[in-house]
A = this chain, B = another copy of it.
Amino acid sequence: MRIYPPSVELAKDSGFCFGVRRAIKLAENAVENKGIIYSLGPLIHNRQEVERLEKKGIHVIHDLSQIESGTLIIRSHGVHPEILEKAKEKAIPIIDATCPLVKKVQELTAQLQKEGYEVIVAGERNHPEVMALPEVKVIEKAQEAEKLRVKKKIGILSQTTQTIENFSRIVEALVKKTPELKVFNTICGATVERQKSTRNLACRVDLMLVVGGHDSANTKRLMEICKIAGTETYHIETAQEIKSSWLKGKKRIGVTAGASTPNWIINNVMKKLPHY
C-alpha cells in the first residue's frame, strides 16, 4: 500500500529561542524610541530576518569606524570587550542584546582566568560568540587536542550551540593532556531540546529539511544530527530552495529550524510542502 500525500511534521522545538526573540524585541523597541540603530555584524544569523529589520531602520555595520552617532546594539552573540571599550570612547549609546546564556559564558571565562585557569572553548573559531571571548584557546574537534599545548590548569567551556557529544569528546581528549580541569557545560537548554526533538524526528521520517541561515552555528549542528541519524537531509534558508525531486516518493517529511529562523520563514516552508 502506498501512502500519498506524504505526512509533514514540524519538530517540537524549532525556531526562535529566547535569546534571539529578546534581541529582536530590544532592537525593534529601540528603533521606535531612539531612531537609527546600528548592529555590529548581523543581529542574528538569518539573512532574511536581518533584511526585514534593515527596512525598519536597524542597520548592519562591520566596523565601529563606520559610525559617529546613532545607537549601537550588541547582538545576541555578544562582542569582544575591546570593541565595547571603543564604543564607550566614542560616546556611542549601547543597547546590550547579548543572550543571557552567552553572557554567562563571558562571565565564566573571566572568573576562570581570575582563578588562574587557561580557558579553552569547545566551539567554532570564527563564530562571533567565540570571537567575543578574550584570551581563550578554541578547539573545534577532539582530534585537535593532541597538538594543543595547554597549561597545567585548564578551564573548559562550550559555545552555547555545541552538541553535547562533541563537547564531551573534547573534554575526554583534554583530560589526557593536563592534571587539573574545571569544566562548565554551557550548552544552552533550548539548544539541547531542539537537538533532541530534531534527532527524534529525523529517526522517524525519510526526508528532513533544516531551515536556517547558512552562517547559523546551531542550524549546522541540526544538519549534523540529521546526517548521523542517516536521514536524507537538506539545509535551506527559504521555501524557494525546496526542490520537487527531493520530495518524490517520500512518505514522511520532517522539518526543523534553527534558533535564529523566524516563524514567517518556517510557515512559508510548511505551506510549500505538498498537502500539508
Binding site for B on A (CB under 8 A): 164, 167-169, 171-173, 175-176, 178-186
* 17 residue pairs bridging A and B, Cβ less than 8 Å apart: A164-B176, A168-B173, A168-B175, A168-B176, A171-B171, A171-B175, A172-B172, A175-B183, A178-B185, A179-B184, A179-B185, A180-B183, A180-B185, A181-B181, A181-B182, A181-B185, A182-B182
**Alpha-carbon gap, A180 to B111, bound state (A):** 14
Once the chains are docked, how many angstroms separate the CA of A169 from the CA of B142?
13
With both beta carbons as reference points, the residue of chain B lying nearest to A182 in the complex is identified as B182
Chain B residues in 8 Å Cβ range of A184? 179-180
How far apart sit A168 and B171, CA to CA, in the bound complex (Å)?
A: 8
The number of times this chain is found in the oligomer is: 2
Q: How far is the CA of A184 from the CA of B176 in the complex (A)?
A: 11
> Which residues of B are found within 8 Å of A180, using beta-carbon distances?
182-185
Q: How far is the CA of A167 from the CA of B181 in the complex (A)?
A: 13
Shortest Cβ distance from A223 into chain B, in angstroms?
21
CB distance from A174 to the nearest CB of B (A): 9
Known interface pairs A164-B176, A181-B181, A183-B183; 12 further A-B residue pairs with C-beta atoms within 8 A, sorted by A's residue number: A164-B175, A167-B175, A168-B172, A168-B173, A171-B171, A172-B172, A175-B183, A179-B185, A179-B186, A180-B183, A180-B184, A181-B183
A167, closest chain B residue (CB):
B175
CA distance A179 to B168 in the complex (A): 11
Task: Point out the residues of chain B lying under 8 angstroms from A164, CB to CB.
Answer: 175-176
**Interfacial chain B residues near A182, Cβ < 8 Å:** 180-183
Q: Which residue of B lies closest to A184 (CB)?
A: B180
By a CB distance below 8 angstroms, the chain B residues around A173 are: 168
Q: When chains A and B are docked, how far (Å) is the Cα of A168 from the Cα of B173?
A: 7
B residues less than 8 Å from A172 (CB atoms): 168-169, 171-172, 175
Q: Measured between C-beta atoms, what is the minimum distance from A181 to chain B in Å?
A: 4
Candidate in A171, A179, A183 with the most chain B CB atoms within 10 angstroms: A183
Q: Report the minimum CB–CB distance from A38 to chain B (whole Å).
A: 35
A171 cross-chain contacts in B, Cβ below 8 A: 171-172, 175
Closest residue of B by beta carbon distance from A171: B175
Nearest residue, chain B, Cβ from A187: B179
Least CB distance from A115 to B in Å reads 11
Q: How far is the CB of A25 from chain B (nearest CB, A)?
A: 27
